[in-house]
């Protein structure tokens, strides 16, 4: 995609997100998105065939905002649990402005076979960017991990992240307080389990997890 097309696409996504925050998903039309972005309706439909397809644009932007918020905070921590908790809390903070309509977005993306699913080929770049953030969480942490598990752990941490997202979508507590409690309670468990993967008695189980991840990926 050329720079000009990327700029136009980004303008449409930004306009859509502004309108979704102002009027909600159902109250926003593609014509309104086009007007806010300063493009024709036909041009808006050239990049996105429907409002639902804007889910991918929303996902791309949210991943970028999450990364931009998390990386500076990660620099202050070397403990694995602190780094993981910081990253998950950063996502909740980044996603908070979109909370009112995010349920519709994620409901669309979660449909089996939907190209907007986070597991689809179309979502590959955004998914890899998200997994790469968890790779940085692990790389900068003082933690000993079984080498085989270490290769797959960033993806496993991203799957944990998706579980947090699912809970967040249904969380109606102020400031997503219940989701933050979920993060605070589950991260220490993960932080304790990961170093145990090096123990000889648990290494076979660790390898089984690795084999399962690779099987599901293939």
Torsion of CA 200, 183, 70, 59, to 10 degrees: 110
Q: Are 158 and 130 in contact (CB under 8 A)?
A: yes
1-50 shares its CATH topology with 52-217 = no
Taking alpha carbons only, the member of 17, 185, 197, 206 closest to residue 88 is 185
pLDDT score at 161: 95
DSSP helix/strand/coil, 66: helix
Distances from the Cα of 117 to the Cαs of 55, 114, 171, 198, in angstroms?
A: 9, 5, 21, 34
Asked if CATH classification 3.40.630.90 holds for the domain at 52-217, the reply, yes or no, is no
Q: What is the CATH number of domain 1-50?
A: 1.10.10.60
Tens-binned pLDDT, residue by residue, of the chain (218 aa): 677 788 898 899 989 988 888 887 778 899 999 999 999 999 999 998 888 788 778 888 889 999 999 999 999 999 999 999 999 999 999 998 888 777 777 776 777 777 778 888 878 888 899 999 999 999 989 888 888 788 889 999 999 999 999 899 889 999 899 999 999 999 999 999 888 777 665 666 666 766 666 666 66
pLDDT score at 193: 86
CA-CA distance, 177 to 168, in Å (whole number)? 9
DSSP letter (8 states) at residue 120: S
* Contacting residues for 206 by C-beta, under 8 A, at least 6 apart: 146, 148, 149, 197
pTM of the model: 0.84
The count of C-alpha atoms lying within 13 angstroms of the C-alpha of 32, restricted to the half-sphere facing its C-beta, is 14
pLDDT score at 69: 96
What value does the CA radius of gyration of the chain take, rounded to a whole number of Å? 19
Backbone angles phi, psi at 147, to 5 degrees: -55, -40
pLDDT score at 97: 84
Domain layout of the chain by residue ranges: 1-50, 52-217
DSSP helix/strand/coil, 198: coil
């Amino acid at each position: 995609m050329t720079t000009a097309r990327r700029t136009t696409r980004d303008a449409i996504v930004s306009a859509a997100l502004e309108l979704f925050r102002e009027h909600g998903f159902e109250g926003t039309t593609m014509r309104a998105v086009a007007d806010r972005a300063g493009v024709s309706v036909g041009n808006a439909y050239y990049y996105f065939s429907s409002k639902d397809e804007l889910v991918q644009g929303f996902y791309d932007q949210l991943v970028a905002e999450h990364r931009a918020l998390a990386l500076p905070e990660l620099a202050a921590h070397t403990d694995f649990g602190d780094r993981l908790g910081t990253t998950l809390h950063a996502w909740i903070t980044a996603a908070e402005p979109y909370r009112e309509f995010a349920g519709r977005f994620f409901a669309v993306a979660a449909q089996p076979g939907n190209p907007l699913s986070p597991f689809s080929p179309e979502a590959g770049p955004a998914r890899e960017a998200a997994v790469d953030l968890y790779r940085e969480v692990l790389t900068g942490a003082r933690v000993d991990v079984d080498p085989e598990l270490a290769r797959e752990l960033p993806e496993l941490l991203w799957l944990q992240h998706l579980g947090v997202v699912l809970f967040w979508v249904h969380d109606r507590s102020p400031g997503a307080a219940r989701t933050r409690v979920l993060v605070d309670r589950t991260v220490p468990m993960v932080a304790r389990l990961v170093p145990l993967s090096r123990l000889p008695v648990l290494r076979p189980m660790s390898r089984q997890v690795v084999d399962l991840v690779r099987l599901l990926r293939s």
